[in-house]
Amino acid sequence: MIKHLRLPQLSWRFIPVWQRNYLVWKKLAIPSLLGNLADPMLYMLGLGYGLGSLMPDVAGMPYITFLAAGTVAYSTMNAATFEVLYSSFSRMHVQRTWDAIMNAPLTLDDVMLGELTWAVAKSLLSGVAILAVIWGLGLYGHFWMTLWIIPVVALVGFCFGGLGLVMNAVSPSYDFFLYYFSLVITPMVLLCGVFFPVSQLPLPVQAVSAWLPLTHAIDLARPLVVGNVPDDIVLHVVALLIYGSVGYVIALALTRKRLLK
Amino acid sequence: MLTVRGLTKKYGATEVVRGLDLTVRRGECFGLLGPNGAGKTTTLRLLLGLIEPDAGSIELAGIAVPQHAREARMKVGVVPQMDNLDPDFSVRENLFAYGRYFNMERAAIAARVPELLEFAGLASKADAQIAQLSGGMKRRLTLARALVHDPDILFLDEPTTGLDPQARHLIWQGLRRLIADGKTIVLTTHFMEEAERLTDRLAILDHGRLVAEGAPRALIESHIEPAVVEVYGEGLEVWMRDHASQVCQRSETVGETLFCYTGNAERVIDTLKQAPALRYLHRPSNLEDVFLKLTGRDLRD
């Protein structure tokens, strides 16, 4: 792998790859949107109102607001993760679409950048849809402040797109992704403050949680929903950038090793 | 059009391609033959700059590879061994998507699509999904897709493997049209018939090394006796003992069959007529005989 480890070669040639994914998505946009959004929306509204009605305010806000802010980050994470795991893997391994593209004057770096930016686009779609529900239900503090959630969502998509591509690079089959979901994604959902404040967890677990990327995402998104300026903005932004970039560079090296031999 | 000097590629300790020298001239159809694992596909991947050689130089369409592989690939069309058409797109959309990878304007692709569909015999299937196409149609579409940017040189990796004779002949027709149009073609195959019919010159590759190179006819003439009599049946051993060494210039036993290579088949047949239990097949020698002589009859996996 070390031999393949080098910085990504950025080129505008990634655009037709992004465009290819967009055109395919467009054909099935409605069912795809429903599939991506119904799940987080149902959880958010069901738990938010159902459980929320039994609860006093959580962390100084109604539970539905608390949960909505968590759901923005969580559904964004899922959108990017699903895209670079299952969909990218289909294109790379099952359909051999990447091979076809690399016979044209595109490189693996172009293809992977196309996949990463497409994952960011899918995250934006998913995050903004949840944001629209937040607007619709009036679950926010200041409208203008909530607009900052849009770049946050893109950043979260970048972070989990980069990390997920590592899994894509090493996976022998679709079944392999279950490990990632069971060992990484699901624990993160429970440890990073989507459904309840991290402060409810035992102190050692809180210490772990502070390092996880989803925690950084939620620490940015939740204050913005409520209408506050997040604390430690630079820390959270840099953490998400590092997770995404390091993941992406490792993913590139592993995929080079896998395909370019 | 293509010049390769001393091309070498190692995987760990094994050399898959060992000091290969090749020259393909403009407008030529060049065949790369070899048993499985001879290094054909690796060579194609090296030529496209998808993998880096350990030694040697490649100049493709006047451009150094892998240093400027991107520019070189602008001038090359590729038909891979395994179909990798985009199953999420229709026939027409596949051509459009592929054109975009070459930076072509939409209008330029649109102008090209009707003739490509006609070339592939898929004009009536333009809006069909890939899953609805037969194996032969998919191959023809893959060939049309490789032509979308009007390349100077075409690489085909076993273009007719897995096709029925009808579909194979259609592909051959298409390739002949391209050769007549002056395209340069490099194809790998292990169908000797395909190589004999299509190529102007060919190279036989074994264990990553070039074992013979030349025009198909010339290779047959220089490497092998003009005729083959395949002899089999009851009494073969007796006939071998009494006659084979006198009438065959070279002979080879494979299973129950004796391959008798000779310049004078009539003499062989005269002796066979005296052994009515023996059955035989007399035929002119062909490229497959050359291939088997040079690469051996052992199975390669």
Which sequence spans correspond to the domains of chain B?
Answer: 2-75+151-215, 90-148, 225-284
Q: What would the pLDDT profile of A178-202 be if each residue is shown by its tens digit? A: 999 999 999 999 999 999 999 999 9
Contact A105 B80 (CB under 8 A): no
Give the pLDDT of residue A260.
86
Give the pLDDT of residue B301.
61
Tokens (6 digits) for A188: 């993160």
Which pTM value belongs to this model? 0.92
A106–chain B nearest CA distance, Å: 7
Residue B300 has pLDDT above 80, yes or no: no
**Which residues in chain A are closer than 8 Å to B109, comparing Cβ atoms?**
none
Give the pLDDT of residue B154.
97
For residue B31, give Cα distances in angstroms to B20, B143, B162, B189. Answer: 14, 17, 18, 7
Whole-number Å distance between alpha carbons of B297 and B301:
12
Q: What would the pLDDT profile of A112-170 be if each residue is shown by its tens digit? A: 999 999 999 999 999 999 999 999 999 999 999 999 999 999 999 999 999 999 999 99
Contact A102 B50 (CB under 8 A): yes
CA nearest to A24 within chain B: B88
| High-pLDDT (> 70) share of chain B, % | 99
Contact B84 A260 (CB under 8 A): no
**Which residues in chain A are closer than 8 Å to B70, comparing Cβ atoms?**
105-107
A59–chain B nearest CA distance, Å: 46
The answer to whether B47 and B2 have CB atoms below 8 angstroms apart is yes
The predicted model gives A91-109 an average pLDDT of 96
A128–chain B nearest CA distance, Å: 26
* Residue count of chain A: 261
Give the pLDDT band (50/70/90) at residue B242.
confident
Give the count of alpha carbons within 13 A of B199, CB side only: 31
Q: What would the pLDDT profile of A46-72 be if each residue is shown by its tens digit? A: 999 999 999 889 999 999 999 999 999
Q: What would the pLDDT profile of B267-289 be if each residue is shown by its tens digit? A: 888 888 888 888 999 999 999 88
The predicted model gives A87-109 an average pLDDT of 96
| High-pLDDT (> 90) share of chain B, % | 69
Average pLDDT, chain B: 92
Residue B147 has pLDDT above 90, yes or no: yes
Q: With a CB-CB cutoff of 8 Å, which residues 72-131 of chain A face chain B?
A: 95-97, 99-107
Q: Cβ contacts of residue B243 below 8 Å, gap of 6+?
A: B268, B271
Q: What would the pLDDT profile of B206-216 be if each residue is shown by its tens digit? A: 999 999 999 99
CA nearest to A98 within chain B: B84
Tokens (6 digits) for A5: 């480890």
For residue B259, the cross-strand partners are B230, B252
Instruction: Residue A239: name the closest of A200, A203, A211 by CA.
Output: A211
Give the pLDDT band (50/70/90) at residue A255.
very high
| High-pLDDT (> 90) share of chain A, % | 87
CB nearest A260 (choices: B11, B50, B82): B50
CA nearest to B78 within chain A: A103
A208 touches chain B (CB under 8 A): no
Contact A19 B101 (CB under 8 A): no
Whole-number Å distance between alpha carbons of B170 and B157:
17
CB nearest B82 (choices: A17, A96, A101): A96
CA nearest to A260 within chain B: B51
Contact B70 A107 (CB under 8 A): yes
Top CATH class of B2-75+151-215 equals: alpha beta
Tokens (6 digits) for A180: 């990632």
When mean pLDDT is compared over A49-53, B40-44, B112-116, the highest value belongs to B112-116
Residue A1 has pLDDT above 80, yes or no: no
Give the pLDDT of residue A243.
98
Residue B43 has pLDDT above 80, yes or no: yes
Average pLDDT, chain A: 94
Whole-number Å distance between alpha carbons of A28 and B235:
70
Give the pLDDT band (50/70/90) at residue B298.
confident
Contact B101 A106 (CB under 8 A): yes
Residue A14 has pLDDT above 70, yes or no: yes
Say how many CB pairs under 8 Å bridge A and B: 58
CA nearest to A91 within chain B: B86
CA nearest to B82 within chain A: A96
A182 touches chain B (CB under 8 A): no
Give the pLDDT of residue A107.
95
A210 touches chain B (CB under 8 A): no
Whole-number Å distance between alpha carbons of B84 and A99:
7
Give the pLDDT of residue A5.
85
Contact B48 A103 (CB under 8 A): yes
Cis bond leading into B284, ω under 30°? no
For residue B262, give Cα distances in angstroms to A25, B100, B256, B279, B291. Answer: 65, 56, 19, 17, 17
